[in-house]
Structure 1
Amino acid sequence: MAKVIVLAGPSGAGKSRLAERLGLPILRLDDFYKDGDDPTLPRIAHGPNQGLIDWDHPDSWLPSDAFRTIVELCEVGTADVPVYSIPDNGRVGHRLLDLVGSPLFVAEGIFAQDIVADCRAAGILGGAYCVTQQPIVTFWRRLVRDLREHRKPPLVLLRRGWALMREQGVVVTDAVAKGCTVVSPPEGYVLITRMLPAATGHDGSR
């Protein structure tokens, strides 16, 4: 049975880059967002973005679907997973994720901490980490990425990014409370690659 390495942390902190650098199969938890026309999506109640969908609220995604997929990957080694387009606010397809025999894979996303307890209880958790950097670094990286990918109008991205920067400490505290260890991207790489030689034959060099 495979096990999952969970990478949580603020948007823009470097979760995706760390996951790619590790060279393990990746389940992107952002693909489990609800579609933009879902009536249960939460709305921002205050501030300049009041009334817009709050994509940073945990009610904007489907943790039970994500957890079932993680269990399937651990037990079977393959799973059909959705492909979500953030600019389109919805699923645009699906793909087969195949672990190709790897005993470890990564599940990463801004709500990843919400599935840590279930993974631990199911005996499939290989490790759980909250990836962080200085708030201003995270703000800038997130803004550059979101502008490049045309995720939302520039003014919305700027206002959202500023609000998220101010709330980064709350995100980290929540992840720690739910079982994650705080790491910078380089620290996370070192800690996780130490697990790889025994599990995958990875020699730790990159």
Structure 2
Amino acid sequence: MSNPHRVVLLAGPSGSGKSYIAQQSGLPVLCLDDFYKDGDDPTLPIRNGQIDWESPDSWDAEAAVEVIDQLVRHGRADVPVYAINEDRRVATRRFELASSPLFVAEGIFAAEIVGECRRRGLLAGAYALRRPRSATFLRRLARDLAEQRKGPRVLLLRGLALLRAEPAVLRRQTGLGAEAARGRDVLRRVAGLLAAGHPPQIG
């Protein structure tokens, strides 16, 4: 029997508007940032003496895929709640899809699991948000300052580094199987999947 649900993976550089576009879709949204590793995890990557939170190795891809698998097959799963300002998981919560045939899983590392989700028959689509770099930089800095994720100087330096790295980030995400698209195009394609009825497996 086919699974009743499918996932739409939404990647893109930090600050590109993934959360906003995911919410605009009207679908249930799984935040993949909640699958970061805890700050004391010995497997965290180190760069220049500091934890490299921009590396996919700082993120628990296996746990994310297992939760997506449960959601696709059963429509519900327990998911972690991660406090970025504390660098750790602080709780778990119940996530349910109800009757929605699609849900969005969004995060900077979403493209890292495109291949595995496709292999397991979980995938409806995979996209990497593309927008002007200056807009992404300003959006990201305003968000991080408002959420007090780190000190202002740290956030500014991080933002400038991410600005320089953004083209490489998009190249990696598209290389992993996510299609580069503007936000409005992602929403149009998701609406098309819904209009077509039960979404087929992408494979």
Superposition TM-score, scaled by structure 2 size: 0.93
Give me the whole-angstrom Cα distance separating, in 1, the residues matched to 2:47 and 2:154: 12
Shift of 1:33: 0.3
Does the residue aligned with 2:148 lie in a helix, a strand or coil?
Answer: coil
Stretches of 4+ moved more than 6 A in 1? none
Decide which of 6, 10, 28 is 2:9's aligned counterpart. Answer: 6
- 1:140-192 deviations in whole A, cap 9, x for unaligned? 10000000000011111101110111011111111111111101112211121
Shift of 1:122: 1.0
Shift of 1:14: 0.6
Cα distance change on mapping 1:199 and 1:152 into 2, 3 Å: farther
Give me the whole-angstrom Cα distance separating, in 2, the residues matched to 1:193 and 1:103: 12
For the pair 1:147 / 2:145, whether they are aligned, the reply is yes
2:197 is aligned to 199
2:118 is aligned to 120
- 1:150 partner letter: Q
Aligned 8 A contact 1:14 1:132 in 2: no
Give me the whole-angstrom Cα distance separating, in 1, the residues matched to 2:80 and 2:66: 13
Decide which of 159, 164, 167 is 2:165's aligned counterpart. Answer: 167
Q: RMSD of the alignment, in Å?
A: 1.1
Does the residue aligned with 2:53 lie in a helix, a strand or coil?
Answer: coil
Aligned residues: 195
- 1:8-58 deviations in whole A, cap 9, x for unaligned? 11010011000001111111110000011112211223xxxxx22111101
Superposition pairs of residues 174-189 of structure 1, within 5 angstroms? 174-189=172-187
Aligned 8 A contact 1:104 1:199 in 2: no
Does the residue aligned with 2:46 lie in a helix, a strand or coil?
Answer: coil
For the pair 1:44 / 2:50, whether they are aligned, the reply is no
1:30 is aligned to 33
Superposition pairs of residues 92-107 of structure 1, within 5 angstroms? 92-107=90-105
Sequence identity (%): 49
